[in-house]
């Protein structure tokens, strides 16, 4: 009986994962220094010494997401977009950010965000998008840098570029995007007459990489949002496809789950069911 008790204690110790352990695993994959200087990735709310009962993975954190985490037995929320993006001067009921912070604290739920550090990491958000398009020879598109810490040397940058397995007519490429990202419509410029094979992409607000996509010889550039005037002047130069910010990054939850489950296969993780896309199509 004594041996059995010792074995059970050892087994429980192995299964015990603290919030700080999960954050370290995520930051090993995408260190916080990889984020852009305007960003606020990392721990947002909560204490990191608590053991993880479960992790809810999402793009955005709202009051409803905190409610879902509680309902599903998760005391950790890992989001792509930071809940606290700008400094809070108080925590009250003045807006959804403050209400969400207050609710999370009340319920003992920690919140962390992996934002532009995960966008910029090798194997990060944009690589996940490329995987869903089955792109080959995927490489960073722009702003290639290296960062070194005790874990090793990281190469990182903005966007990716790769090749489709087979060239597609522009209309067929757009149909591929609709199927893979579950969109009924998207924004595009004039359809190019040549076929699309080399594709550059950036999830979210990636318009700043359009020139890099052209310079990289891409036939198409896919992103989540782009301004009206940025569509001008590229007729037959490159196929622009704007599929929506939320839609472009929807597979980030899968990526977060893969990173966590690789290090903690016995720790419960679940992808959010609450739709947090603030944009509707009517």
Q: Is the pLDDT of residue 13 over 70?
A: no
Determine how β-strand 187-188 pairs with β-strand 55-58. unpaired
Mark 76-90 as b/e (b = at least 16 C-beta within 10 Å): bbbbbbbbbeeeeee
Q: What is the pTM of this model?
A: 0.92
194-244 tens-digit pLDDT = 999 999 999 999 999 999 999 999 999 999 999 999 999 999 999 999 999
- For residue 265, the SS3 value is coil
Contacts of 217 (CB under 8 A, 6+ apart): 198
Residue 40: name the closest of 4, 73, 87 by CA.
Answer: 87
Contacts of 12 (CB under 8 A, 6+ apart): none
50-99 tens-digit pLDDT = 999 999 999 999 999 999 999 999 999 999 999 999 888 899 999 999 99
Residue 15, pLDDT score: 60
- The sign of the dihedral angle between the CA atoms of 205, 210, 216, 219 is positive
Chain-centroid distance of CA 76 in Å reads 17
d(Cα 225, Cα 246) in Å, to the nearest integer? 9
Residue 9, pLDDT score: 42
Helix (H) or strand (E) holding 3: helix 2-15
* Residue spans of beta strands (DSSP E) within the chain: 42-45, 55-58, 76-79, 110-113, 136-149, 152-168, 187-188, 196-202, 220-223, 239-242, 269-271
150-176 tens-digit pLDDT = 989 999 999 999 999 999 999 999 999
DSSP one-letter code for 278: -
């Amino acid at each position: 009986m004594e041996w059995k008790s010792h074995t059970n204690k050892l087994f429980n110790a192995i299964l015990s994962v603290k919030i700080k352990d999960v954050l370290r695993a995520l930051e090993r994959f995408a260190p916080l220094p990889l984020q852009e200087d305007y960003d606020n990735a990392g721990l947002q709310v909560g204490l990191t010494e608590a053991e993880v009962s479960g992790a809810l993975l999402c793009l955005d954190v709202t009051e409803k997401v905190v409610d879902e985490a509680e309902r599903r037995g998760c005391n950790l929320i890992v989001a792509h977009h930071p809940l606290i993006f700008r400094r809070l001067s108080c925590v009250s009921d003045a807006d959804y950010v403050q209400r969400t912070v207050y609710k999370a604290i009340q319920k003992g739920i920690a919140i962390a965000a992996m934002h532009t550090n995960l966008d910029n990491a090798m194997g990060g958000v944009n690589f996940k998008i490329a995987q869903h398009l089955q792109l080959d020879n995927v490489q960073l598109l722009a702003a290639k840098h290296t960062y070194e810490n005790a874990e090793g040397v990281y190469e990182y940058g903005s966007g990716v570029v790769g090749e489709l397995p087979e060239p597609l007519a522009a209309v067929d490429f757009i149909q591929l995007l609709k199927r893979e990202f579950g969109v009924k419509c998207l924004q595009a410029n004039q359809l190019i007459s040549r076929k699309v094979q080399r594709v550059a992409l950036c999830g979210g607000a990636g318009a700043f990489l359009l020139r890099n996509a052209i310079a990289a010889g891409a036939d198409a550039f896919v992103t989540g949002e782009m301004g009206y005037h940025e569509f001008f002047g590229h007729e037959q130069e490159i196929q622009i496809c704007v599929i929506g910010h939320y839609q472009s990054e929807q597979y980030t939850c899968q990526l977060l789950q893969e990173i966590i489950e690789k290090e903690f296969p016995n720790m419960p993780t679940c992808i959010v069911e609450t739709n947090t896309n603030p944009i509707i199509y009517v």
